[in-house]
Chain A
Amino acid sequence: MFYRETGQFKTNYTDDMAIFPIRQDRIGIAIILAIALILPFVVSEFVLKTILLPFLALSVAVIGLNILTGYTGLISLGSAGFMGVGAYACYKLTTIFPEVNIIIWIFASGFFAAAVGVFFGLPSLRIKGLYLAVATLAAQFFLQWAFVRIPWLFNYNPSGAIEVPLRTLFGMPITGPTAELEVKYLICLGFVIGMTWLASNLVHGRIGRSWMAVRDMDIAAELMGIKLLNAKLLAFAVSSFFCGVSGALFVFLYLGGAEAGTEFAIRLSFLILFAVIIGGTGSMIGSFFGTAFIVALPTILKFGAPAIGIAITGATAEKIVLMIIGALTIYLLIVEPHGLARLWQIMKQKLRVWPFPY
């Protein structure tokens, strides 16, 4: 009930530097985790499949782009391309070494995306803002082209698509058509928790501070001894790593098969960027708000509106979704760059002084 820090005195720096210094916050996180664990067993298969799985898979990419755009101040429109690199890397790895567990390969595919990300991040030393966005757009188009034109990547399947094979963990199918949705969900959840923990560790330490310094005032950052190129390339590497893992999760645990030409297209890159802006740049929790927004809104409109008697076709719903997301993004860019995460903070602040606001 009472959300406040009164009486919780920090007597050492370790406590004060904790990522959730307030006890109620820690309890809150524990409750959210507990809910996340039982959720797949109480919601319908439909919700699991159309909302929860894509939410988990995409949130990793949104965190990744938030590291690059929100924390380091570099805009990228190549996120979907980097996700694709992860997905294809995972596909090739598990094809070539089927005996190694798929979970290891999902994680390892992040390294391939990171390498590609660093390569396309090289121009960021010289160019910023809009020009960098255009450069990453070129990366996006190049990668999209490669996914379609290099048949080796999709094992020469005549369909041109990744066909996710059956892989198991302790004898239980976790990928492929026979894997249970609940199992896929729990694997995804494990990745999301682990990756969020790593990202939040990183942004709270020296490296995170260097990124934010580069974002806020690059000449002063250089004067602190921060090498701009290193800091920016590291941001590209970590960000693309997250996108790569997200892409592998997206295909192997959510879609179950994908054509990169359509799945990892520029549209997804934009959606990820919008999720970062809507959720709040430079905020971990905001990344989840933003992802929830872009994942849930289409489903709610497409299936929720007809349910309450508003006749709306799938195609119209799709367009309305894009309009809402676009308008909200522009609105937030102008009035509240910290997005939904800021509303969350204001709410917590209100709660902290409640019921005596003065």
Chain B
Amino acid sequence: MMLHVSPTAATTGIAKGEVLLNVENVSLRFGGVKAISDVSFDIVKGEVRAIIGPNGAGKTSMLNCINGFYFPQEGHITYKGVRRQKVRPHEAASSGIARTFQNVALFKGMTTLDNIMTGRTLKMNVGLFWQLLRHGPAMREEIEHRRKVEDIIDFLEIQAIRKIPVGKLPYGLQKRVELGRALAMEPELLLLDEPMAGMNLEEKEDMCRFILDVNQTFGTTIALIEHDMGVVMDLSDRVVVLEYGRKIADGTPDVVKADQKVIDAYLGVAH
């Protein structure tokens, strides 16, 4: 499988099972709309943490706070033991946070290969001079990273669409390429916003397998937003449930599933 892509665990100092990310009393408003109200939860290194809740519950907004698209008005986010002030998305990226989007945010005009190569940007540093010549260090670096990207392409079984502009791919494959681009960053914390939305059963099964593999093979910590309760129960170690911007439950899938508030708010509505 992905033989060359190594987990970054060794470099972080946070051991498996310790708190990687801590969200404390976070509130986020858009004008009069309260998207998130006083939510606290933590994500532990190595786990798959699901975030569920009805539409408009504030799940996507929560991911946006974590990777620096939004700045919460109240509360704090602590990542790897450091309480963050205002973090910009590219800073979140360099601290090891990668994500996928609810409505695929790929680079439409670029090929699958180039999209995933872009995920390597932070790890590439040969400067303008050699880039202009495309020789020596620039070419060596390009080949080195191309190798890693090919491993990811093999892992996700998308060899055939390597050189196709992603705008031309069906939706399910686009989601897979987007996962590939996030994996290329070798993230420590991977945020997945509804990675299986709009997929058929087979595609969903593939995606589940990839997510589990990433988590188990590389020890990547995953925060997962997902509507399909079956998937959530299968994949996640712990679940946090949001409703109208508030946290209404937090625990293992079994505990959450049995929670009356959750049944009323979410499961009752969805099924």
Contact = CB atoms under 8 A, between A and B. Distances in A.
Nearest to B134: A201
Interface string B116-134: 0111111010101001111
B22 interface: no
Interface in B22-58: none
A205 interface: yes
Interface string B55-76: 0000000000001010000000
Interface in B95-115: 98-99, 101, 105-110, 114
A205 B138 contact: yes
B147 interface: yes
B121 A210 contact: yes
Contacts of B138: 205
B131 A205 contact: yes
Contact of B110 (A201, A213, A219): A213
A16 B80 CA distance: 40
Interface stretch (B85-93, B168-176, B204-212, B244-252): B85-93
B109 A215 contact: yes
Interface string A219-254: 111111111000000100000000000000000000
A168 B101 CA distance: 59
B143 A216 contact: no
Q: Is the interface of B mostly helix, strand, loop or mixed?
A: helix
Given A201-B132, A220-B105, A206 B146 contact: no
A219 B68 CA distance: 11
B206 to A, nearest CB: 23
Contacts of A227: 90
B185 interface: yes
A198 interface: yes
Contacts of B124: 206
Interface in A191-226: 198, 201-202, 204-207, 209-210, 212-213, 215-217, 219-226
B134 A209 contact: no
A225 B122 contact: yes
A205 B145 CA distance: 11
A212 B90 contact: no
Contacts of B181: 224
Query: Which residue among A213, A219, A227 has the maximum number of chain B CB atoms within 10 Å of its CB?
Result: A213
Q: Is the interface of A mostly helix, strand, loop or mixed?
A: helix
B142 interface: yes
A49 B126 CA distance: 42
B107 A223 contact: no
A220 B104 CA distance: 10
Nearest to B126: A206
B107 A225 contact: no
B146 A210 contact: no
B67 A223 contact: yes
A13 B84 CA distance: 41
B143 A224 contact: no
Contacts of A234: 128
Nearest to A209: B118
A206 B121 contact: yes
A31 interface: no
Contact of B132 (A202, A212, A217, A223): A202
Contacts of A204: 134
Contacts of B128: 207, 234
B129 to A, nearest CB: 11
Contacts of A225: 90, 93-94, 121-122, 185
A14 interface: yes
B14 interface: no
A222 B139 contact: no
A14 to B, nearest CB: 6
Contacts of A221: 107, 118
Nearest to A231: B121
A13 B162 CA distance: 13
Contacts of A219: 69, 89, 105
A226 B123 CA distance: 11
A9 to B, nearest CB: 15
A117 interface: no
A17 interface: yes
A174 B126 CA distance: 37
A215 B134 CA distance: 22
A157 B249 CA distance: 81
A209 B139 CA distance: 15
A282 interface: yes
Contact of B107 (A201, A206, A213, A222): A213
Interface string A37-52: 0000000000000000
Interface of A: 13-14, 17, 198, 201-202, 204-207, 209-210, 212-213, 215-217, 219-227, 234, 282
Given A202-B131, A212-B107, A225-B93, 9 more contacts: A14-B143, A198-B133, A206-B120, A206-B131, A212-B114, A216-B106, A222-B88, A223-B98, A224-B185
Interface of B: 67, 69, 88-90, 92-94, 98-99, 101, 105-110, 114, 117-122, 124, 126, 128, 131-134, 138-139, 141-143, 146-147, 150, 181, 185
14 contacts: A13-B146, A14-B143, A17-B146, A198-B132, A198-B133, A201-B133, A205-B142, A206-B141, A212-B114, A216-B106, A216-B107, A220-B101, A223-B67, A223-B93
Sort A-B residue pairs by CB-CB distance and give the 8 closest, nearest first: A201-B134, A225-B122, A216-B107, A225-B93, A220-B105, A222-B89, A206-B124, A13-B143
